[in-house]
């Protein structure tokens, strides 16, 4: 009797599981048919996934950079993904990029407001009140014509940091971070304004920022209780900036102010620590990994590293000071940097559609997030032959003295809110690369690590370490 009862129970459980499975399947089919029937008029083809609201979030999240290209091959250069309730419409044909960068139908601020609120706790009201002022302030402070005043301290900081590196084995990303973080912060925030002079306090700052940066993209999407370590580091950084802004004097002549002082003079006091944190992230999160990738790619190609070294030695030798004007005589280094930027650009940049617009006889509805992918745009063989190869020479045809880039290159964005710090970034990268090559014979101790396909926002990150051996020249 007990055995028969158990068997009946097992059959009941099995039947229940089958019924639930069939119900789930029917709901999924019903969902997909509703989407297919009602659709969105003449909007782009859409991949919805199998589940309401969630859409294809699971598929997309496994390797979003690769997923973008896979769907382009399947659905064409304009398509929509339903991801966690958001309609993400991709424009992957360069002929359509003007609709992204120049159209009044899309809005940058409305696309980034909520992520900014999540990562830095800036309210919606404050963001829309101060974002344009902040952008224009930073753009003015870091304009090409203003960089000469920043150069001496930048050169001194990089030189002092590199001079502490002795013969030995290192991890390349750690080398770059160890020198660039401190120097850039001292230049843009003021020397010692952040805890950069005390080694123990600086290491604590670095540890919290690395955590904040590593999970920044997830912090823009997920509730804090899913990211406890990240939330702890974010809280630590905001507390630090809360103390910093109380000490910073924002008075005096504008041309003598640091970028932080100028920033604090245009934002509300309540959110001054929050905007300071965002300035720190913007200053470090993209330039430092690009310097890592540049060095890794250069060191991985004997021909390139020899050509770069010859350019540095013929210009400044091993002992001469690298003056700002000397950089203009080292264009190949800049070609190396731009080629690294091309290969490791963000997976997406985004705008919010505020008014429907036409693209290839299709209508992109208001409310969609419209996306362009610099990562894949820079692999278009029409503009970049042998697009997957690191070929600095391709940039020799660009007028880099006038900062005119190659056609098809969109790493710095475009339109009203193009990257405000791009000229400073190119200067610091150019200087650091020249100083590094001038001082070291550095060799990779293995293959260059691949990039992580998980990240869409900002410069691509390596999936693993990059060990090197350094000899002083």
Q: In this predicted structure, what is the pLDDT of residue 3?
A: 47
DSSP 126-147: HHHHHHHHHHHHHHHHTSGGGG
For residues 158 and 67, membership in a common domain is answered with: no
For residues 325 and 451, membership in a common domain is answered with: yes
In a domain, 274, yes or no: yes
Mapped onto helix, strand or coil, the DSSP state of residue 25 is helix
Q: In this predicted structure, what is the pLDDT of residue 16?
A: 54
User: What does the alpha-carbon distance between residue 176 and residue 352 come to, in Å, rounded to a whole number?
Assistant: 35
Count structural domains, the chain: 2
For residues 363 and 219, membership in a common domain is answered with: no
CA dihedral of 406, 412, 415, 416, whole degrees rounded to 10 = -150
In a domain, 67, yes or no: yes
For residues 435 and 354, membership in a common domain is answered with: no
For residues 222 and 285, membership in a common domain is answered with: yes
Q: In this predicted structure, what is the pLDDT of residue 244?
A: 97
In a domain, 8, yes or no: no
For residues 166 and 205, membership in a common domain is answered with: yes
Q: In this predicted structure, what is the pLDDT of residue 26?
A: 47
Query: End of a domain among 324, 358, 377?
Result: 377
In a domain, 215, yes or no: yes
Q: In this predicted structure, what is the pLDDT of residue 318?
A: 84
CB environment 184-213: b (16+ within 10 A), e (fewer): bbbbbbbeebbbbeeeeebeebbebbebbb
Task: State the burial class of residue 40 (Cβ atoms within 10 Å of its Cβ: 0-12, 13-18, 19+).
Answer: middle
In a domain, 16, yes or no: no
Q: In this predicted structure, what is the pLDDT of residue 52?
A: 82
Domain region containing 79? 25-119+349-377
| Low-confidence stretches of the chain (pLDDT beneath 70) | 1-39
For residues 34 and 167, membership in a common domain is answered with: no
Q: In this predicted structure, what is the pLDDT of residue 451?
A: 96
Do residues 439 and 295 touch, judged by C-beta distance below 8 A? no
Q: Is 419 annotated as a binding residue?
A: yes
Q: In this predicted structure, what is the pLDDT of residue 27?
A: 52
Query: End of a domain among 358, 377, 396?
Result: 377
For residues 165 and 258, membership in a common domain is answered with: yes
In a domain, 394, yes or no: yes
For residues 97 and 174, membership in a common domain is answered with: no
For residues 268 and 132, membership in a common domain is answered with: yes
For residues 235 and 331, membership in a common domain is answered with: yes
Q: What CATH number does residue 269 fall under? A: 1.10.630.10
pLDDT tens profile 37-48:
445 789 999 999
Any residues with CB less than 8 A from the CB of 277 and at least 6 apart, and which? Answer: 120, 234, 237, 238, 241
* Parallel, antiparallel or unpaired: strands 467-472 and 440-444: antiparallel
In a domain, 14, yes or no: no
In a domain, 40, yes or no: yes
Task: State the burial class of residue 391 (Cβ atoms within 10 Å of its Cβ: 0-12, 13-18, 19+).
Answer: middle
Q: What CATH number does residue 54 fall under? A: 3.30.43.20
Global confidence as pTM: 0.91
Q: In this predicted structure, what is the pLDDT of residue 264?
A: 97
For residues 417 and 288, membership in a common domain is answered with: yes
pLDDT tens profile 246-267:
999 999 898 899 999 999 999 9
How many other C-beta atoms are found inside a 10 Å radius of the C-beta of residue 168? 10
342 conformational bin, left if phi > 0, alpha if psi -120 to 50, beta if neither: alpha
């Amino acid at each position: 009797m007990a055995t028969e009862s158990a068997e009946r129970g097992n059959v009941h459980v099995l039947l229940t599981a089958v019924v639930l499975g069939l119900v789930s399947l029917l709901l999924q089919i019903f969902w997909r048919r509703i989407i297919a029937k009602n659709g969105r008029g003449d909007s782009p083809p859409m991949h919805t996934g199998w589940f309401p609201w969630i859409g294809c979030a699971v598929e997309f999240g496994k390797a979003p950079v690769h997923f973008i290209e896979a769907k382009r091959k399947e659905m064409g250069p304009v398509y929509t993904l339903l991801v966690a309730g958001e309609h993400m419409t991709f424009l992957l044909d360069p002929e359509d990029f003007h609709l992204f960068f120049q159209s009044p139908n899309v809005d940058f601020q409305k696309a980034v407001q909520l992520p900014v609120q999540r990562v830095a706790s800036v309210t919606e009201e404050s963001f829309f009140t101060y974002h344009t002022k902040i952008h224009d302030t930073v753009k003015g402070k870091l304009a090409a014509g203003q960089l000469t005043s920043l150069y001496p301290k930048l050169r001194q900081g990089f030189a002092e940091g590199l001079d502490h590196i002795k013969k030995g084995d290192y991890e390349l990303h750690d080398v770059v971070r160890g020198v660039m973080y401190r120097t850039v912060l001292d230049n843009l925030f003021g020397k010692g304004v952040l805890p950069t002079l005390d080694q123990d306090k600086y290491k604590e700052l670095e540890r919290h920022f690395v955590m904040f940066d590593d999970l920044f993209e997830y912090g823009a999407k997920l509730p804090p209780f899913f990211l406890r370590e990240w939330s702890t580091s974010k809280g630590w950084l905001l507390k630090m900036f809360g103390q910093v802004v109380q000490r910073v004097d924002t008075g005096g002549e504008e041309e003598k102010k640091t970028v932080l002082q100028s920033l604090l003079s245009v934002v509300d006091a309540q959110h001054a620590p929050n905007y300071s944190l965002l300035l720190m992230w913007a200053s470090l999160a993209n330039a430092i990994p690009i310097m890592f990738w540049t060095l890794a790619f250069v060191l991985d190609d004997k021909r390139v590293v020899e050509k770069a070294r010859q350019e540095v030695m013929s210009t400044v030798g091993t002992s001469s000071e690298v003056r700002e004007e000397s950089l203009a005589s080292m264009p190949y280094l800049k070609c190396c940097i731009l080629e690294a930027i091309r290969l490791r650009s963000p997976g997406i940049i985004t705008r919010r559609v505020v008014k429907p617009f036409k693209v290839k006889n299709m209508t992109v509805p208001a409310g969609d997030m419209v996306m362009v992918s610099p990562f894949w745009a820079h692999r278009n063989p029409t503009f970049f032959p042998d697009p997957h190869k690191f070929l600095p020479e391709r940039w020799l045809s660009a007028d880099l003295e006038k900062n005119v880039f190659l056609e098809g290159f969109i790493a710095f964005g475009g339109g009203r809110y193009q990257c405000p710090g791009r000229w400073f970034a190119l200067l610091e990268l150019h200087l650091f690369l020249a100083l590094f090559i001038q001082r070291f014979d550095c060799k990779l101790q293995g293959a260059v690590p691949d990039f992580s396909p998980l990240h869409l926002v900002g410069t691509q990150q390596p999936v693993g370490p990059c060990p090197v051996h350094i000899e002083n020249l």
